[in-house]
Amino acid sequence: MPIPQDRIRNFCIIAHVDHGKSTLADRILQVTGAVDERNMKEQTLDTMDIERERGITIKSVAVRLEYTARDGETYALNLIDTPGHVDFSYEVSRSLAACEGALLLVDAAQGVEAQTLANAYKAIEQDLEIIPVINKIDLPGADVDAVRRQITEVIGLDGDAAIPASAKEGTGTLDILEAIVAQVPPPKGDREAPLRALIFDAKYDSYRGVIVYVRVMEGRAARGQRVLFMSTDDRYEISELGVFVPEARPMETLEAGEAGYIICSIKTLRSVKIGDTVTDALKPAPGRLPGYKEVQPVVFCGLYPAVDTDFQELRDALERLQLNDASFVFQADSSDALGLGFRLGFLGLLHMEIIQERLEREFDLTLVTTAPNVAYEVHLTTGEKLTIENASKMPPAAHIERVEEPYIEAEIICPTEYLSGVIELCKKKRGIHSRVDYIDGKRCMAVYEMPLAEMVLDFYDRLKTLTRGYGSLEYRLIGYRPGNLVKLDILLNGEPVDALSCIVHRDRAEWVGRTLASRLRKLIPRQQFEIAIQAAIGQRVLVRETVKAVRKNVTAKCYGGDITRKRKLLEKQREGKRRMKQVGNVEVPQEAFMALLSVQDEPER
């Protein structure tokens, strides 16, 4: 018999990274008996190694828990895990849309951070009932009262109602479960209406194909039902549906108000769009659920095999990776300097790092990566509009009417003593000051609008360094704005190197060119001939650096014991040279293609 809606609670946990979300989820699973103590693996909900290492959750899972509350009734609590990072903000919003309530977890020692705020606002936008929880009250630095005040003053929720807890020690878990039952409204939705189910996540399983996570909003989904995915207009038959408890438990139906999974022989994740609506194929609902959008990549980089012959291997790896992460895109690309490779698009910087790391770790590939960049909108004098994701594809300046670049709004929370440093950093990154809010006596939030291009290079690292790790950052795209942008070319012995071209603000072009050229001079080893490194805008050369020719490279002494040792040493050097890229007649080490990143470390005049 289906569970009545008033016995269902759909909720999620939202928090800043490392505030204890996964630990609390584990504790809840344990207390409700979904996982017994003996089989408890730390942080059951995070399944990938990289996620665990970075303390973040990239993909969500929904788990049904049975909880008998103090009122004597047994409830089905659906815990919907949300991605923990800004890059996946759209996916987060869809997970939130599947819930009626959210636990807002705040670290008792660290207090409200940038992601706490951003996530809280997203939950408020979705009209969720928010239950603040102050976690880690066992820590020596815990200051529960201060965090209560921050919740009241900064987020605008009732801090006094916040539940003190220590997920690590299990304190407060039952209070949290009771609060979910008491405060989170039960789901609504007509179970007799045509089916409308929200896809809030999907995962690839090598045995069963794609597992689609849905929240049924109206009607019911049943095994064997013919369904229509409304945005992609694909039709399938549901071969299995059910809930995770946390292992899969197949059922006959999923009714309005329930969250669970459906399996319908879908082969690739690319066929499933997060936010899409599943309806009955024969009796479709009149329209989609609100809030669907196509997610567009915002950060791009080139990825090339270090050894040319690994191109096919890299393609295979990308295809396999895309089976379980459809949120990055790639297309074959070729560079004069780097040969055959791919251009990849990501949802954000962290997303890019994760994909790069997975490629190297899981597929054992050595890759040459170019510095990340954003997509520019180029308006030509002909009225045509182009999207440029690769600086080397920029049309000549004479054909360009204007160039627009993506802007973000960044919220940076940091201790007040670092504020001046943060402001300086934002200014240097072409940031436009919006406001500074004070969170309490100790911390403040600076809000800036700035070009995404400035953010993708090294902003987060520098922010962390300059705030000694205390700064936190959240950003969202706010659209394209015209910029005084030019393409900066790097020439080696007079030949432009496509993989080293970049788009920069005109005012900084000379400085970037100068610094980049000087970096390259240090990175490119001396060769038998002199190498001229030039930075140029169009025909105008801004700066010239020279790598002097190597004139002496000889092992002066070579006696009996040295012969094989020397040969092996040369073989090792030779191996190193093989990993360099031949650009014209110049051998360029891989690091050179990332030099744009390190340029940012240089003090600016």
Question: Where do contacts with other proteins occur on this chain (CB under 8 A)?
Answer: 528, 550-561, 563-564, 566-567, 570-571, 573-574, 577
Residue 271 dihedral angles phi and psi, to the nearest 5°: -75, -10
Give least dist CB 141 to other proteins, A: 44
Complex with other proteins: residue 224 or 576, whichever CB lies closer = 576
Give least dist CB 568 to other proteins, A: 10
Q: Indicate the DSSP class of residue 210.
A: E
Residue 505 dihedral angles phi and psi, to the nearest 5°: -70, 140
Give least dist CB 552 to other proteins, A: 4
- Residue 232's CB: how many other CB atoms inside 10 A? 12
SS (H, E, C) 449-464: EEEHHHHHHHHHHHHH
- Residue 526's CB: how many other CB atoms inside 10 A? 13
Q: Give the 3-state secondary structure percentages of the chain, helix then strand then coil, rounded to 5.
A: 30, 35, 35
Complex with other proteins: residue 206 or 528, whichever CB lies closer = 528
Local structure of 430: helix, strand or coil: coil
How far apart CA 467 and CA 461 sit, in angstroms, is: 10
Tokens of 313: 């291997």
Give least dist CB 561 to other proteins, A: 4
Beta bridge partners of 216: 197
Complex with other proteins: residue 404 or 587, whichever CB lies closer = 587
Give least dist CB 559 to other proteins, A: 5
Residue with tokens 């809930």: 243
Of 24, 272, 284, nearest in space to 133 by CA: 24
Give least dist CB 463 to other proteins, A: 36
Tokens of 450: 């700035």
Complex with other proteins: residue 382 or 564, whichever CB lies closer = 564
Complex with other proteins: residue 468 or 548, whichever CB lies closer = 548
Give least dist CB 527 to other proteins, A: 9
Give least dist CB 583 to other proteins, A: 18
Give least dist CB 210 to other proteins, A: 48
Complex with other proteins: residue 398 or 556, whichever CB lies closer = 556
Give least dist CB 574 to other proteins, A: 5
Complex with other proteins: residue 206 or 564, whichever CB lies closer = 564
Tokens of 82: 């949300």
Amino acid of residue 478:
I
- Residue 384's CB: how many other CB atoms inside 10 A? 11
Complex with other proteins: residue 189 or 584, whichever CB lies closer = 584
- Cα dihedral: 167, 168, 174, 176 (round 10): 0
Complex with other proteins: residue 434 or 573, whichever CB lies closer = 573
How far apart CA 493 and CA 473 sit, in angstroms, is: 42
Complex with other proteins: residue 380 or 569, whichever CB lies closer = 569
Judge contact between 299 and 349, C-beta under 8 A: yes
- Residue 571's CB: how many other CB atoms inside 10 A? 10
Contacts 24+ apart (CB under 8 A), 34-39: 34/63, 34/65, 34/66, 34/245, 34/246, 35/246
